[in-house]
Amino acid sequence: MKLNPVPAALFVRNRARLASMMSPGTVALIRSGKRKQRSGDQFYPFRQNSDFYYLTGINLEECVFVFSPAHPDPDLREILFIKKPTLKSELWTGQTTGPEEAQTLSGIGQVRWLEEQDSYLQLLIPEATMIYTDHDTGVIPYQHKTSLAPLLQSLRTIKQAEEIEEIKRAIAITRSAFLRALQRVEPGMYEYQVEAEIIGEFIWKGAEGHAFEPIMACGKNALVLHYVENNCLCREGELLLMDFGAEANHYAADCSRTIPVSGRFSRRQRLLYDAALRVLLKARELMVPGAVMNDFHQAVGEFWEEEHIGLGLYSLKDAKAHSGSEPLWKKYFMHGTSHSMGLDVHDPFDRLKPFEAGMVLTCEPAIYIPAEKLGIRLENDILITERGALDLMEDIPIEADEIEELMNRTS
């Protein structure tokens, strides 16, 4: 990791919260991620399993964490098993996190070598014990097994103070990358060159990299919702839709901005852009405790219907007479307005669960017009508080005038 580690207090608290949800006498077992082979003797960069990281703060592969919070022996309530290094592994990949450092990072008192796990597990998990896990339990003589995922999904939905700070850190890096891109974008660049400016800033600022595969979609490419080829020319007069975010200490930012390649919006582009921004600002006000995702999305759709009519895409009469299975506004705004985010850019979330303080959700209204060969998406990350929505991206430029001013500022 390039940045200062997340305080171990977060992971200690996460485990305590999990313990309060587990049935008495049960055991949770979770395995870390494993490096995936790319081709031949090459592997993809390792990225830790988010649930494992949430409970341990450990970024090692091939680890096992066993959690038995009600065990009578306090030394056996939390055990982290890590892979023992060899002379060969240290020669090729260097020293890795050892037991003492793992204890410091995780707050777990017992850290053992992976080779010891079978003997410990047979003692810790009697035959009748129920195990919370989503993994192969190997040699454990269990009778009952249930999924750990629902418990962790419930916990991860509400962000702790340390998590919010990490998301803010990822957002700050994302802001810096956007400002850099605004200074560099011009007609004749390729989409991948814009992406290069962004990843360069991410790495320069100490992020792990992209939190997700970035979208740099110019002109009609923005009509493809998950366009990731990023290989086309950015032409004079077109709009560039950018959907990107840094990952810092495993936590994601998720930002969308749409900018004019030439540095100035045309009159029509400005009308469409301002409509999208108005919808975002109105939608943001609805992100309060007690709101439900589906109702929220429907309300945003109704905002869009009013804007669509004002933009001349259809009339009020057309909207009322429409007999399709979906409302007419979905022709121009066909995806959701929001999703949960945190350790994953799409964090687990129950869409029927009312919004609560501590949730971090995106707000991403958009408009896609095939006849005009453009799409505009604006997206900010929102923290739900008891007092309403706190926009964590409020200092990332979004007003059309500010974007134009920054794009045309002399260095």
- Active centre residues (catalytic): 41, 226, 243, 254, 335, 339, 346, 364, 368, 377, 379
**How many Cα atoms occupy the beta-carbon half-sphere of 221 within 13 Å?**
24
- Look at strands 209-210 and 388-391 and give their pairing: unpaired
Residue 204 has a CB neighbour count (10 Å cut-off) of 12
- Tell me which DSSP letter residue 370 carries: G
Q: Which residues contact 19 (CB under 8 A, 6 or more apart)?
A: 67, 69, 70
3-class SS of residue 240: strand
Dump the DSSP string for 245-299.
-EEETTEE--EEEEEETTSS--HHHHHHHHHHHHHHHHHHHT--TT--HHHHHHH
Greatest alpha-carbon span in the chain? 76
Relative orientation angle of helices 8-21 and 161-184, to the nearest 10 degrees:
130
In terms of residues, how long is the chain?
A: 411
**How many Cα atoms occupy the beta-carbon half-sphere of 67 within 13 Å?**
26
AA letter at 386: E
